[in-house]
Structure 1
Amino acid sequence: MTHIATTNSGRLEGHEADGVIRFLGIRYGAPTGGANRFLPPQPVTPWTGVRAADTLGQIAPQFSSPRRPSSSEPSEDCLALNVWTAGLNGSRPVIVWIHGGGFATGSGYSPQTDGAALAQREDVVVVSINHRLSLPGFLYLGELGGEDWGHEANPGLLDLVAALRWVQENIHAFGGDPSRVLIKGHSGGGGKVGSLLSSPPARGLFSRAALHGGPPFGLKDRGRATVTAQRVLEVLGLRSADRQRLQELPLERIMDAQSQLGVGSEPTEHGMRFAPVIGTASLPTMPQDAFGAGVNADVPLLTGTSVDEMRYVYNARPHWLDPAFDLDEATLERLVAAGVDNAADAGLLLDRYRADYDAGRNVDLLTDILSDQFLERTARLADAKARSGQAPVFSYLCTLNHSQPNGTFHGVQMPLFFGNVGAGPAGLTGPAYDAASDVLRRMLAAFAATGDPNDAGVAGIEWPAYDPAQPSQLVFGDDGFDVTDAWLAERRPRWAGITATAFTDPWGRAFEAASRTQAPEEVTVA
């Protein structure tokens, strides 16, 4: 069955199956190549007649990645979004999904985050977005281009602003309520949500926010971003940021330059070379500082992490699980130091962790420290938001699969929020996952509707608002749900006095080490 929705650019034909109407590949901006390259998004050209919306849009130029759907190819014509809805009439809460992949890879669609189940079971409208990434999305030329450039920083972030503006202007035609819009992201998507919460152009375009496993990492100040931009010009053989020449270059040359600077399909040391730039009109300050200053104080926040975030590396490098494998002391300290602002803090962190427990191998100690960095950074964001905001913060911790070798790794919880159990990175299924998904879907929908997940009315589960003076979390794992401060009370004291801002990134060096260290049969046990 087909349905017609009328937007401010033209009419679209969507297709209904299993009680959900899908509109795929909707253009919210013009192609970003040629004269539009490195510039803010431009309006889409209106059309006459009815345009089919039955195919996923092309995705942003990027390296090959597991996150890339096989039906999509990279293109500078990538400003597209998808909508799932149970009906075109009514006024449903809207959940806007912003994908992860750092700031370099990913797309708005994956089997884990398909919006159909959430839209059908919870009667919400789900939107997902493609936008510019990496060098095309975050090359900063503000200091090098001069007056002739006319450049605004962070076009990849401004794409998201344009998509949210499209939602405000059009979502009513898809049965959505523009006054109840939740922006939600995981990993790099969480970093983008944090950036949008801090971005003046995005204010008023959403009313709730959810930040999963993604306290902002790898953001850049203008000085560092300018150094990278100068390096790009050198690789491209350009003496200056000549606007016409940069826009006339073939896309292949642009992407080759990105490759030469070390940006690939995994978050290596250079994977965050191109990221949102702070100190600009679209991102004046770091998210934690913006929260502390009361920016978007009236926007409720739902945030949380998985307890073993960094064990995600084990999925890519299974030899790290071999008992014979380990890291030497120098490598361990270097990798811990890479994730904090002051490298001298690495020794203090190691001493504190070793005083509390015996982690066994150095590689296990490393993954525990870097996993806890997600918990600590997220808690600091929650502290800042709760202390200065008028709206509540709700914090969670996922411990599902914690007893297994790869643990509660990065992203294990996300399919549960969408109702897509078994579609995650490891295809994890079972009664505990089904039960958790049933609760999390309902609470997410309630949060989108009212700003309070407790309005889902889940029997026996009350999720208290986060209080920095007496912090607690909703913890869900193999044994069900609990509200406790145990994880925060145990782990946060180890991070007292340790500076870890959005400028640092623990991911890259861990993957770099995983790529370069010896395989188990070759390793000498440290």
Structure 2
Amino acid sequence: MKRHLAATLASLAALTIGSAAAAQQPTLANATPVVETEGGSVQGLEQGGIDAFLGVRYAAPPLGELRFQPPAKPEAWEGIADATGYGAPCMQLYSASGPNESEMTRRIQAIFPTSTEAKMDNEDCLFLNVWTPAADDGGKRPVMVWCHGGGYAYGSGNWPAYNGRNLAEKGDVVVVTVNHRLNAFGYLNLAEKFGDDFAASGNVGNLDLVRSLEWVRDNIAGFGGDPANVTIMGESGGGSKVSHLMAMPAADGLFDKAVIQSGPGVFSGKPAEAADYAAKILEAAGVETLDDLRNVRSDEIVEAVRRATPAGSTMGRGPQFGPIADGTIIPRDPFLPAAPEQSRDIPVLIGYNKDEMTLFLAAQPWFGRLTEGTLNAMTGAMGEQAVAAVAAYRKRYPDYSHTHLAAIAMGTRFVRGTYLLADQQAKTASAPVYVYRLTWETPIGGGMLRSPHTLDIPLMFDNAKESAALLGTGEDAQTMADMMSDAWIAFAKTGTPSSELLPEWKAYTPVNRNVMELNVEPQLVDDPEKDIRELPSEL
């Protein structure tokens, strides 16, 4: 078995210095076995007995003539490629005015390092990470592939909250996280400006994900994984990416199960709107010709996006990057007018968190300060649906402050989208659909966030101790992590989420809307947000 030079040096040091002195030295990580991939050999380092291969290239650098083009296979390399550290994240479009402004939410950067990654991003970003209990034993373990959050604008598979070590060890599974092209680099519709040669440009970010699944199919056996048992998972924007993969012909047959967390992707963008947004970005970047497009610096593209995007264009209130229903790569909206036919045999686990929006709103100057009058003014400005949502939640949660009523009402898109997608899938699928609602509340900040966006991630990854910045340090956090990681692992293995810590999890149907409320005392309930689910789009 080939081992990294560090392991050899560690052994020599022990012999030279003597066992007593060597015992005082820091423990050096052992090298992983060398694994042969389609591009060449790779070797990483162990993480607590789990083989970790980080920054493995799954596609050629999307530079030069490959910029804004579908991903290509990487060229073969000689020797053993280093897989001991993460590959670069894609160029980031994270706004400093986002959810990291308060002291508490800034601490959460320890596990969701959005601002930090903007300091090291790069167009050459098509890398993935693999954690496996044993890369050299010929095992056929279930494979759990993670699509990161951050919408389609920022994020990467490198975030500490996504570290797959604990999940791999607990479940005897192989965990894969993926970086791919984002924002303008992955979803800039250039077909109208530059013709058929750029017909795929508005969807290349999702084509990167397809390419990563092809890499898994062709290479994961060498890492002890079973290419015939692949589960794709994602939260927030990652959940939307999973939703779209279910509807992409190029992804058909590349996965067997799907997990959609706080990110139902029911709709796709429209090509004409995306082309108009692209035209404004190109104008801001001074791009007129194909040579201009290939030579403009990546930081200039990012700055052009900022100039071309209206102020306050967030939360769906302005032009957004994302997949477009171009009729070919993504034939239509993924779940309208019906669920995608190609994924009818795919078991689906989908859900959301009770108070999604508190994470985004906690830094706002009004958070914690709303009165009845300001709540009514705010929701009234948002429309009749928001007013109705506040009234419904006021009955359900009489102890909620005006601030928390506003926040939970702003999150109805997660609720309604989840049930719409679940209903559409369950109507026609031959495979089951399972729905959850995370109601456990994090104690950090005096409980001000309740059950916020992203709370599910360190729980299902079994990273409770490592994610104390979000979960706190109490025993309940580990109880929730035990419960949720069990269920996610069971789903990856069998297509049914289960845990000894849970009651029987029955499938969701449009007739029997079984929803697992995930809390320290979990319960299976029937249609827990019927009033919100049935709110008309336009009252």
Q: Residues 20-47 of structure 1, C-alpha deviation per residue, up to 9 Å, x if partnerless?
A: 0000000011111222111111221111
Q: Distance in 1 between matches of 2:256 and 2:86?
A: 27
Q: Distance in 1 between matches of 2:51 and 2:311?
A: 36
Instruction: Tell me which residue corresponds to 1:378.
Output: 418
- Matched to 1:275, the amino acid is G
| Pick aligned residue for 2:297 from 250, 257, 260 | 250
Residues 218 and 275, structure 1, Cα contact 8 Å, conserved in 2:
no
Tell me: CA distance 1:267–1:109, structure 2 relative to 1, closer, same or farther (3 Å). farther
Alignment TM-score, normalising by the size of structure 2: 0.83
1:498 equivalent in alignment to 2:528: no
Q: Residues 112-136 of structure 1, C-alpha deviation per residue, up to 9 Å, x if partnerless?
A: 1210000011110000000011011
Q: Which deviates the most, 3-12 or 347-356? A: 347-356
Residues 142 and 174, structure 2, Cα contact 8 Å, conserved in 1:
yes
Q: Distance in 2 between matches of 1:130 and 1:150?
A: 22
Deviation, 1:193, is 0.6
Deviation, 1:425, is 5.4
Identity of aligned residues (%): 33
Q: Residues 476-515 of structure 1, C-alpha deviation per residue, up to 9 Å, x if partnerless?
A: 12x421111262345434x1x3269xxxxxxxxxxxxxxx
Instruction: Tell me which residue corresponds to 2:57.
Output: 27
- Matched to 2:64, the amino acid is G
Tell me: CA distance 1:459–1:227, structure 2 relative to 1, closer, same or farther (3 Å). closer
- Matched to 1:17, the amino acid is Q
Deviation, 1:216, is 2.3
Q: Which deviates the most, 422-431 or 261-270? A: 261-270
Q: Residues 383-411 of structure 1, C-alpha deviation per residue, up to 9 Å, x if partnerless?
A: 11111100001111111117933210111
Tell me: CA distance 1:111–1:459, structure 2 relative to 1, closer, same or farther (3 Å). closer
- Matched to 1:126, the amino acid is V
| Pick aligned residue for 1:234 from 279, 283, 299 | 283
Q: Distance in 1 between matches of 2:148 and 2:442?
A: 25
| Pick aligned residue for 1:441 from 485, 488, 495 | 485
1:83 equivalent in alignment to 2:130: yes
Q: Distance in 1 between matches of 2:199 and 2:262?
A: 35
Tell me: CA distance 1:321–1:292, structure 2 relative to 1, closer, same or farther (3 Å). same
Instruction: Tell me which residue corresponds to 2:42.
Output: 12
- Matched to 2:537, the amino acid is I
| Pick aligned residue for 1:128 from 172, 177, 195 | 177
Deviation, 1:318, is 6.3
- Matched to 1:405, the amino acid is M
Residues 268 and 334, structure 2, Cα contact 8 Å, conserved in 1:
no
| Pick aligned residue for 1:186 from 226, 231, 235 | 235
Q: Which deviates the most, 460-469 or 140-149? A: 140-149
What 5-or-longer segments of structure 1 have no aligned partner?
338-343, 501-526
Residues 198 and 291, structure 1, Cα contact 8 Å, conserved in 2:
no
SS at match of 2:350: strand
Tell me: CA distance 1:176–1:199, structure 2 relative to 1, closer, same or farther (3 Å). same
SS at match of 2:472: coil
Alignment TM-score, normalising by the size of structure 1: 0.85
| Pick aligned residue for 2:522 from 481, 489, 503 | 481
Residues 267 and 335, structure 2, Cα contact 8 Å, conserved in 1:
no
What 5-or-longer segments of structure 2 have no aligned partner?
1-29, 96-108
Deviation, 1:170, is 0.2
Q: Residues 331-351 of structure 1, C-alpha deviation per residue, up to 9 Å, x if partnerless?
A: 4334x35xxxxxx75566567
Deviation, 1:315, is 3.3
Q: Which deviates the most, 211-220 or 267-276? A: 267-276
Q: Distance in 2 between matches of 1:257 and 1:460?
A: 50
Deviation, 1:283, is 1.3
Q: Distance in 2 between matches of 1:190 and 1:436?
A: 21
Deviation, 1:361, is 6.7
Q: Distance in 2 between matches of 1:459 and 1:319?
A: 39
Instruction: Tell me which residue corresponds to 2:331.
Output: 284
Q: Distance in 1 between matches of 2:532 and 2:74?
A: 49
Deviation, 1:292, is 2.9
Deviation, 1:229, is 1.3
Q: Distance in 2 between matches of 1:212 and 1:125?
A: 20
| Correspondence list, 1:448-487, <5 A | 448-454=492-498, 458=500, 461-477=503-519, 479-485=520-526, 487=528
Q: Distance in 2 between matches of 1:352 and 1:436?
A: 28
RMSD (Å) for aligned C-alpha atoms: 2.8
- Matched to 1:492, the amino acid is R
